[in-house]
């Protein structure tokens, strides 16, 4: 009989994963050199993707095309550092592949390019499209009687896009209780504070008014994330959204809530200081 990990074991696993992922993300960004990297938006989602790949989602690392796998879509494609590092932790890609990040002609550019054999379901980066794609996949699963879940990770700034709300309406209309949206609510986007660029005012109420079951959590607390993603019972026929309050650049003091690190290059001194903060 397979040993089922306790919740505390899951929490400990996700916490350790996220810490390793942050260190690997820094190494990837530093190796990218003059290309720079989206460190801020990648660091803010580490616990979210670690929770999904470490404890929540069903997949087979030896067979990324496993037909009944849960699907993950990174709609905010500029958070790729938090995606690729999770794929490596899950054993879907190798460490060598991980550190080919942003190499010319490589498989892992700054924003994801579809490659199902490497665990990447869709290309992303043009904001506002991931939820629509996810709804198409979820609707197909419903009509074919498949039991997998589709997880879509969006940014709060991305929720400025009208296509997000068209998709939200469709999910409720088609009663897609097999789709989970997760909003990385770090309150910042590339041009500044989200509230200043286009204030969403009350994000939870907006999703609720579109017919979604809404959960709000601390996006850096694995216990809260796992409770929302595993334990919380969603009403039958209702799509659900987890609004995860996060900190852009989480884990590195000089990057936290500093929009200079939405996309930037690391100096050797900054790299060493950041790694030291993360315990290496």
Residue 189: beta bridge partners? 192
Q: Which of 87, 100, 80, 76 is nearest to 39 (CA)?
A: 80
Cβ atoms of 163 and 124 within 8 Å: the answer is: no
Give the CATH H-level superfamily of domain 7-277. Thiamin diphosphate (ThDP)-binding fold, Pyr/PP domains (3.40.50.970)
List, for residues 143-158, the tens digit of each pLDDT value: 999 999 999 999 999 9
Token code pair at residue 181: 């949206």
Query: pTM value?
Result: 0.97
Domain map of the chain by residue range? 7-277
What is the chain's pLDDT, residue by residue, as a tens digit (280 residues)? 467 899 999 999 999 999 999 999 999 999 999 999 999 999 999 999 999 999 999 999 999 999 999 999 999 999 999 999 999 999 999 999 999 999 998 999 999 999 999 999 999 989 999 999 999 999 999 999 999 999 999 999 999 999 999 999 999 999 999 999 999 999 999 999 999 999 999 999 999 999 999 999 999 999 999 999 999 989 999 999 999 999 999 999 999 999 999 999 999 999 999 999 998 7
Query: Position of tokens 């026929």?
Result: 237
Rg of the chain over all Cα atoms, to the nearest angstrom: 18
If phi > 0 it is left, if psi is from -120 to 50 it is alpha, else beta; for residue 126 that is: beta
Q: The tokens 């590092």 sit on which residue?
A: 85
């Amino acid at each position: 009989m397979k040993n089922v990990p306790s919740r505390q074991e899951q929490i400990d696993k996700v916490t350790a994963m996220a810490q390793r992922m942050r260190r690997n993300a820094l190494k990837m960004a530093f190796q990218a050199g003059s290309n720079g990297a989206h460190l801020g938006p990648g660091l803010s989602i580490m616990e979210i993707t670690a929770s999904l790949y470490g404890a929540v989602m069903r997949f087979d690392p030896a067979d990324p095309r496993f037909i009944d796998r849960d699907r993950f879509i990174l709609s905010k494609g500029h958070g790729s550092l938090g995606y690729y590092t999770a794929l490596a932790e899950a054993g879907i890609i190798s460490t060598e592949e991980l550190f080919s990040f942003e190499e010319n002609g490589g498989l892992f550019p700054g924003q994801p390019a579809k490659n199902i054999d490497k665990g990447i379901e869709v290309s992303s980066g043009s904001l506002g499209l991931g939820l629509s794609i996810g709804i198409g996949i979820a609707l197909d699963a419903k009509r074919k009687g498949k039991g997998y879940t589709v997880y879509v990770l969006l940014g709060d700034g991305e929720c400025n896009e009208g296509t997000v709300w068209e998709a939200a309406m469709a999910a409720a209309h088609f009663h897609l209780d097999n789709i989970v949206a997760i909003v990385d609510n770090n309150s910042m986007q590339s041009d500044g504070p989200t509230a200043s660029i286009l204030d969403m005012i009350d994000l939870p109420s907006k999703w609720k008014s579109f017919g979604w079951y809404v959960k709000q959590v601390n996006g850096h607390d694995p216990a809260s994330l796992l409770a929302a993603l595993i334990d919380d019972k969603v009403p039958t026929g209702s799509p659900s959204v987890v609004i995860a309050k996060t900190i852009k650049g989480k884990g590195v003091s000089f990057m936290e809530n500093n929009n200079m690190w939405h996309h930037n290059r690391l100096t050797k001194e900054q790299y060493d200081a950041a790694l030291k903060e993360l315990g290496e």
